[in-house]
A and B are shown apart, each in its own frame.
Chain A
Amino acid sequence: MAEAALATERPATAASAAPLLTVRGLEAWYGESHVLHGIDLDVRSGEVVTLLGRNGAGKTTTLKSIMGMLPKRKGSVVFEGKELMHLPARHIAKAGIAICPEERGVFASLSVQENLMLPPKVRDGGLSVPQIFELFPNLKERLSSQGTKLSGGEQQMLAIGRILRTGANLLLLDEPTEGLAPVIVQQIGHTIARLKKEGFTIVLVEQNFHFASSVADRHYIVEQGRTVDMIENSELDANMDKLHAYLGV
């Protein structure tokens, strides 16, 4: 299928100035422990933004609390002009945000096809099933396989693929390259670039800095539950020392 076939009615294809997602002073708790102390993010429509930081800095927690998956949180999360802070998680999903969790969450007792078709459509404009197969040809071969009988890479493709059908336009991807072979990492990189071209907005949590720099527009640095810095991808080279100081051991 030609590249053009993927084109949908998605309006914005380039990063526009209006922020799609604005996060201010986001704090979150796991039980008694206070994990996020103040996350501020601006994500513009059509952008790919990464959250970089050491282990335990609060990157995954940030995604989870945007999605409303934590019991206690505070601050403000505005998506398409709508405050999400007081909505339950399923309404946040319906608003058009989809998360691909680190553990992938592929349902073991369902087949690839069932996993793919399970997420409810939240609005129009999602990719069609043939378009998803075009992105991930492996999935098409394994349609009737059980979710857990896939390789790690295929599971990751399935986990990403199934949220593309729903019509969500903001994708939160939590370490999509973790534990995958370099060739698969490359394929996921291509996919993210392709999704960006399609007009999807992506917030990516990444440990693999080289991978992040190959796909992202901007990088937020998360440290001890706070966003401490933001670096444009174009200014990355100039800021290498700073970045090493943040991320190095």
Chain B
Amino acid sequence: MSVVAEPNTMRLPEERTTGAMPGYHIAIFALLLGLALIAPFFLYPVFLMKVMCFALFACALNLLLGFGGLLSFGHAAFFGGAAYVSAHAAKVWGLTPEVAIILGTLSGALLGLVIGSFAIRRQGIYFAMVTLAFAQMVYFAALQMPFTGGEDGIQNVPRGDLFGVISLNSDMSLYFMVLAIVFGGLLAIYRIIHSPFGQVLKAIRENEPRAISLGYRVNNYKLTVFVLSAALAGLAGATKAIVFQLASLTDVHWSMSGEAVLMTLIGGMGTVFGPLVGAAIIVTMQNYLASLGAWVTIIQGFIFVIAVLLFREGVVGLIAKRLRRPL
């Protein structure tokens, strides 16, 4: 392994040999993509799109929690806020779905910037509480503001035509758009985690005073990852609004934040692929056990307890430990 000889020109660990995606990660991504491409021919596409949107949402939270060490309990604000914005943009302003989704994502980032700049001043449980408090404010704003439709939410959002050309009314064409968005989001998260920026994040998560004493402005790093995470949560929420043609109070409710945390923990916090698995497990349970009504929540709680007792690293975390490889 050769190392660059001239450190004088570099500020950050840019030139690394460990930064390239390891072969087995490429294989997993390829496998996931392959499965996702054939899955809609066997399973209900709308269900799969729901899984994908929640997977992206959980991955966004995991970026903050697993790699930044910051537990946000208010990610529903970004997810649901973006859902409202994109639903409004598509329905009232009549924008094309991709523009509506981009606007939703930007709204998530903007909200993340505001909430994040307050929240990162605190650590641990206080950080979680500050994010929760802000998310509750967003919830009540969503309940009261005229454009959100209050208890009704924004319904019958048109799926529209992608780029004004391709009609998304067919589930299949919508499915492939969602797949492209979610897969792109995942690759972006992967890139962030494995960038020099991601390394500084891990350093801050492990030993914040040490990172400061090496000369890093840690608050800027924390805020940046918060905004990135909020934007990606927004991307997930905005896409979800187009898929279900609906933005409602459920999307901004605190239990939505809790669900994202649950998915991340079940799948494996701090792993790349864990939140995908977690989201798939939770959404599948919600869908296929829906006939049991309120029992779903109880079963979810039970599974969560088992996960904490038996495999605290989450499903993927456990596999990674067995294989002795980061997944």
Contacts and interface: CB of A to CB of B under 8 A. Distances in A.
Contacts of A93: 212-215
Nearest to B207: A105
B7 A144 contact: no
B223 to A, nearest CB: 15
Interface string A61-101: 00000011100000000000000000011101110001101
Contact of B13 (A94, A101, A114): A114
A143 B1 contact: yes
B10 interface: yes
Contact of A126 (B4, B7, B217): B7
B3 interface: yes
A185 interface: no
B34 to A, nearest CB: 30
A113 interface: yes
Contacts of B203: 107, 110, 118
Interface in A82-138: 88-90, 92-94, 98-99, 101, 105, 107-111, 113-114, 116-122, 124, 126-130, 133
B117 to A, nearest CB: 18
B213 A124 contact: no
By secondary structure, the A interface counts as loop
A98 B212 CA distance: 11
B212 A90 contact: yes
A90 B217 contact: yes
Contacts of A113: 1, 3, 13, 16-18
B32 to A, nearest CB: 24
B47 interface: no
Interface in B173-218: 196, 199-200, 202-203, 205-207, 209-210, 212-218
A135 B274 CA distance: 40
Nearest to A124: B8
A120 B212 contact: no
Contacts of B199: 110, 114, 118
A110 B205 CA distance: 12
A109 B206 CA distance: 8
Contact of B18 (A90, A111, A119, A165): A111
A118 B200 contact: yes
A127 B7 CA distance: 8
A97 to B, nearest CB: 9
Contacts of A207: none
B11 A90 contact: no
Nearest to B199: A114
A69 B215 contact: no
Contacts of B33: none
A166 interface: yes
Contacts of B200: 118
A98 B135 CA distance: 40
Contacts of B207: 105, 107
Nearest to B13: A117
Contact of B4 (A110, A114, A121, A129): A129
B35 interface: no
A129 B2 CA distance: 10
19 contacts: A67-B213, A69-B209, A88-B212, A90-B212, A105-B207, A107-B202, A109-B206, A110-B199, A110-B203, A113-B16, A117-B13, A117-B196, A119-B214, A119-B215, A128-B5, A129-B3, A144-B1, A144-B18, A166-B214
Given A107-B203, A166-B214, 13 more contacts: A89-B213, A93-B213, A110-B202, A113-B13, A113-B18, A114-B13, A117-B12, A118-B199, A118-B214, A120-B11, A120-B12, A128-B5, A129-B4
